[in-house]
Amino acid sequence: MDSAARRLTLPASVESVAMFRDFVRSGAVAAEVPVEELEKLDLVLEEILMNIARYAYVPEAGKAEVAFAPDGPGKLYLEISDWGNAFNPLDVEPPDFSRGLAERPIGGLGVFLVRSLVSSIAYRREADRNVLSFWFPAPGSFPKAGE
């Protein structure tokens, strides 16, 4: 990510999610990401950050970092990092949708939602950190002007 990127590092916790959200929102609005996409962006951020808060550092505490840069009109490139054990959340199997209400597992929906909303998301391990990167809105998720 180039030097024009903005970064915010906070403790990986549920209390930090709102601060990360406001930080990214300000960049998304400045980059003219379509208003109707902003809550989807909130959702993707919350799901990834809660995953880090709940699983990356157990039982210790650690930090999370969100970085973003505008990438053309109406679009952001984002990277979300943690310094926990190497773990690719995109490898997690999707929930078993064939089960009825009584047997439906209560967890596992967050990563599935992220993958559904940002199809191009990618994971890499870089030195001692896990990095998830994606463009938002995801390519092809909304028509370009004039289409």
Partner 1 sequence: MTIETEELEKAVLVKVRGRMDAENAHEFEQACEQWITSGAKHLIADLEGLQYVSSMGLRSFLSVAQRLQSNSGSLILCRLNGLPRQVFELTRLIGLFPVFDTSQQALATLSWIPLLDG
Residues near partner 1 (CB under 8 A): 14-15, 17-18, 39-40, 42-43, 46-47, 50, 95, 97, 100-102, 104, 106-107, 109-110, 112-113, 116-117
- Minimum distance, C-beta of residue 15 to partner 1, in the bound complex (Å): 8
Judged by beta carbon, residue 100 or residue 140, the one nearer partner 1 is: 100
- Minimum distance, C-beta of residue 64 to partner 1, in the bound complex (Å): 13
Cα–Cα–Cα angle for 45, 61, 1, rounded to 5 degrees: 45
Judged by beta carbon, residue 46 or residue 79, the one nearer partner 1 is: 46
Judged by beta carbon, residue 88 or residue 119, the one nearer partner 1 is: 119
Judged by beta carbon, residue 19 or residue 124, the one nearer partner 1 is: 19
- HEC string of the chain equals CCCCCEEEEEECCHHHHHHHHHHHHHHHHHCCCCHHHHHHHHHHHHHHHHHHHHHHCCCCCCEEEEEEEECCCCCEEEEEEECCCCCCHHHCCCCCCCCCHHHCCCCCHHHHHHHHHCCCCEEEEECCEEEEEEEECCCCCCCCCCC
- Minimum distance, C-beta of residue 137 to partner 1, in the bound complex (Å): 13
- Minimum distance, C-beta of residue 2 to partner 1, in the bound complex (Å): 30
Judged by beta carbon, residue 86 or residue 101, the one nearer partner 1 is: 101
- Minimum distance, C-beta of residue 109 to partner 1, in the bound complex (Å): 4
In sequence order, which residues have a C-beta less than 8 Å from that of residue 15 and are 6 or more positions away? none
